[in-house]
Chain A
């Protein structure tokens, strides 16, 4: 009985407790009315919580009408709603402006953005997907402070990416790309924009030191798209457009060409080259029109589906990209698929696997310059009276006296294509035995097969100058099989509520293997497509093959600590052992440390919360390395050469390079200071950073001293020299919304100053690019070095006064209209000692401005990029203005070139001989301002939401590289190149203006 009362009491108590409780239901959507699954819905002040299902729906019991529901989800601003009398509470979450709770990938781990202590910049995949490009880094241009990207034209071309300038002279300057945790080398041509979820750029050494020996040029971490809990979501992305190829020069027509050459000949005392120039009027051969298409197609297509449940999520996509060359043949085509599956077996165990098969094919002629350079009088085909009917199809073309090979014929002969098949598999297993302790092991295997097939037909356009007496066929097959394996253990713990610490330790192993085999033969019976096989070759069969391997073993660790979200400390340590180094320096250590102070979380900042939402100071230090060494560093090689001994020419061998057992890594030490801020509800946010990098033990190839007994051209790699660079990165971001109108602007600003601190010997001069660049201590590497072109001699008096103090002419062969070179050292001679610094290939600063505007369902984005303060070498000046060669010139050159006093002070007189070396002396004549401002992308779109049976339908039209402001007169101001030969513009494949239409469907 007694128990009955007790039970009754409990039942009444429970009823009383239940009485007054309210069940609230609703749907959570984003501002595009799309449901958001997985949103955490909690009753504020209690532990009661629920989450939204696949349709964004939830149900939760609240204690009373006064209860407040808090909705939170990563990437969105939290929202609190009072229940009141409502039992149906539908909520729309706004995307967060500053997204401090966003997750940033930091290498072998992720942290919240607010907890980052080093210099890391993040770009979302959808920002990259606004452009249709073959290489995702192309669309990164201007979007990340501290990253300078120089575009490269041509199907499959890879842009030059410099993170905070250069830190090496002789080794690669490309950053390391890490995709889903797996180091993938120095190119991401294999990756479609549509596959990318986000990019995180590790800019300073305190961030990148965890990648140790490959991180000196920075690291770009790429996270690909993964499935999210929810119903299957299909996404189709299509864009198609035209790349425009305008002739960068207005070349002379036949009559003008004749006039130009006649003038060059007569100016040099010869009779006219093409007398009666008027006879060529109307007889111009349109080479450009015959071989270069005004537009070429670029297409991008992607179809994907993603979704999943609490136990399993998936994301599958199929991506296609095609970029035709502007010839009638060739281009680049890429098909990739990505199949990502993640499984959660329990709260403790999860795993995932991603398959990434890929096919690429590429190849296109590279002779577009010849379409401008060949003379405009020669016809494309031989006249009928020069054909006897026995020629093969490649011999019917005419030969140009300009010595430029017939470009139409060259394109017709072109047969050099490469096919690549690749499969990358990446899988992980994660186990959390106790709360806070996570074991994770991840492995990847990549196998690839690349086949290059070349056929060169026989032809005879001209028996002396343009022929191949015998055809040849070549096939080269390269396979690679690489694997990586990394295992980490991470323990995170909060002590006494305010001490947050995390320790990660791990080990990685990587191995890269490759081999190739090739076959070559000549004398294929005919040039038909079916016979283009090595087996069909009847003469000079040859073959070869090789294999290579390299490996890297590392130990990694990271310790992070923060106190109450105010004071942060992070330290990392990596120990790398590389097969690329000899026993004496096989292993190297790469430590880093960083700290930050989140001032905005201090009590004394409480009063400023209305304005200052986030304010943080950061400082970091680290050491990273560069191990991208050429094989000759650790190989001793025997070279071959001919010597005359007695009366006989003897085939000899000699030691051409020697391994250096003491060789070690180039090491970059880096310090970084930064301030991050968010103001006025994070509408205005940004960061300002200053860095200094010092490279030590730089690798240079040096000759042996003569007393060593080695030949003069035998070399050895040694660690000598150092360089230093510094600069600032600025990011300012503003975003706001007024009703249906939202707008935003991101501004990035980057400077980089680099100087050589020391070379291998005092006063050493390191020349590059055929002695046209110089690198010395105390100045930037690879600056342009040559003579000062001090205008043109306008008259005989100026010629007569260009003498030394005794009347000896400084330029004895000069005539009025020739270039006057400066005798800088006043020694009465124009010689090597008069060369000086002509300019710098390195920009003083680069800027990016990314604007976005949206009104209701319309949106507009515009990206601008500027590179300011560098010079470029316009090598085409010699081709276009020099009368010494028979190649075609720019139209009107006979009037543009100096032809009397005051007619020009820039374009020298036309001369067949160029005795004054106007063009052969490398001078400031070739140097031009390389600054430019380019509108990288402008796109306008309209989105239909929940119409036509679709969740989303977006139609867009965009233009890429449509407008460029520059003083550079060459083909394109975006010119790359190695450190010692950067900025030499010539007939480089231009970054083309492109007009595209796009459609994006989600359902």
Chain B
């Protein structure tokens, strides 16, 4: 492999739980997964060239909460470190760029969030335009409901198809020991449940989840030494749509289409995709945007509908997709992460085994 090739060589996550006893600085969730990740790759913290994290002070209710999280690393001697106030999938992007500069050959990326500390759907209103929208405090479930109805009434999807996404996700999550929700559920039963926020039912909305995850990236030969079957990143792109919710077609996701086209770069035939869809209809938007056929296995982990730790759920998608390559059960995988209201910003990471 040439020096600039970069692969995911390790992934670890904390269990997705409704409410953790951990502090909002994530230390209690991060310490065990750092140890697990370093042990599985045989690396020590001194071997890591760059550390990068994703989290949010609004979730923690305190300023500079990511600084306290650095304690979990044991940052002595001083480390090379950065942070994004976004899902850690974007921190992974920063680390990938950092390795491409040639300055470092390994990076450890982590994301964490204790969503249960505050009122999540209210806190997320602060992502909206601060002049004309956020002062009304539109909650995340309400905004998603507006998006869902647009698609239902346009015939782009139905409440039944949304329930089918939820049922398939819960069933897939039976194989994921870290999932918050899993089980065999009947679509008719789901549809018989009352609305949570018409047109959304509880199964259409990701649960409130506390959690953390971490990934190790390495370049070239280093990656091959650390992992038997590295998940080589062959495309990594992110795009954004207008912040003005009323001015874009919320039943489509041009930014996902654009990021997907650029990341796949003409390749077709994805075996497995992990899509970060916090609401059931959003998975349908994403599948349509990425033009997936029936052969693509979507969200074998159960996806965000079975556990949505804020600021690491996107990174977790990349970790689960990479694990499919590590285990040899997939050749080419696609992972997606989203940020902002109603799928505003989208990132696509395509990974392959060296023999695919």
Tell me whether A and B are bound partners: no
